[in-house]
Amino acid sequence: MTHTRSALLLGYGYVAKATAPLLRAQGFALSGTTRSPVKAGEMAERGITPLINPDAAALRTAMSEASHILVSVPPGESGDPVLDMLMPCPALPKLEWLGYLSTTGVYGDAAGGWVDEDTLPRPDEARSQRRLAAEQGWQAFSARTRIFRLAGIYGPGRSALDRLKDGTARRIVKPGQVFSRIHAGDIAAALMASIARPEPAGPFNLSDDEPAPQADVIAHAAGLLSVDPPPEEAFETAEMSAMMRSFFSSSRRVSSEKTRTQLGWTLQYPTYREGLEAIYAASI
């Protein structure tokens, strides 16, 4: 007997919002959790049944009815808040696929070298250690769990272009420092590729082809906007929050070649240049 495919979005964040239209186009019935009544209204307008702050019983019911679950709720200092609500694990009779959105931060510092899907995670930041623990928790939760390690996420409304427009863009220069990135549209496409090809178990790296210094990305965005880029600031003397400084504490180049081969996934935006240019073109 077949059943209607239904996707439950645990957390309606930036990536879930980008993925929802693709799921809907594939005929999925959509529901999702949120803590915000305002966001719940937005979800309802987009054809997503909102679950506002569900308790454990409501969450278990929603999960038991879902064929696909996308988890984008980050862990807190005390652990993964969703897993904590679900113990002991509920029966999920309809589940075909569960995607957990993690971060390439779990690889730790590679001193600018390359990491890939076979690299042993060595998280050196507390938040990345919590991510790795959450990955392990969700893998133990279901054999259908697929782990997606995301590089720095950007896209419409969340890019260097937006930071230049609102005056918050900075060019921090730390010699040898690079970051890997991924456009939200490419993340959504990768998730759909995994749903279509659920057998590969991962973990999956989602990153584009060109790790680059943060300052280079800001400069390219400034060129698109025909504005002067902000002045360069030396990392050693720049004033910044502890959180921002921690992002510069590790440097790695993330390969996603194995993921692309396993999922048959192709990048629409192979570097930050194509991604920013598409965002800019859509805004004019």
DSSP codes of every residue in 108-161: ---TT-EE-TTSPP---SHHHHHHHHHHHHHHHH-TTEEEEEE-EEEBTTBSHH
Assess whether pLDDT exceeds 50 at residue 1: no
Query: For 262-273, what is each residue's pLDDT tens digit?
Result: 999 999 999 999
Query: For 80-126, what is each residue's pLDDT tens digit?
Result: 999 999 887 788 999 999 999 999 999 999 999 999 999 999 999 99
Residue range 50-72: mean pLDDT, rounded: 95
> Which position has the higher pLDDT, 246 or 31?
31
**Can you give the length of the chain in residues?**
284
In this prediction, residue 3 carries a pLDDT of 57
Assess whether pLDDT exceeds 50 at residue 232: yes
Confidence tier at 189 by pLDDT (50, 70, 90): very high
What is the three-class DSSP state of 51? strand
Which domains are present in the chain?
A: 6-151+184-207+253-268 (3.40.50.720)
Average pLDDT, the chain: 95
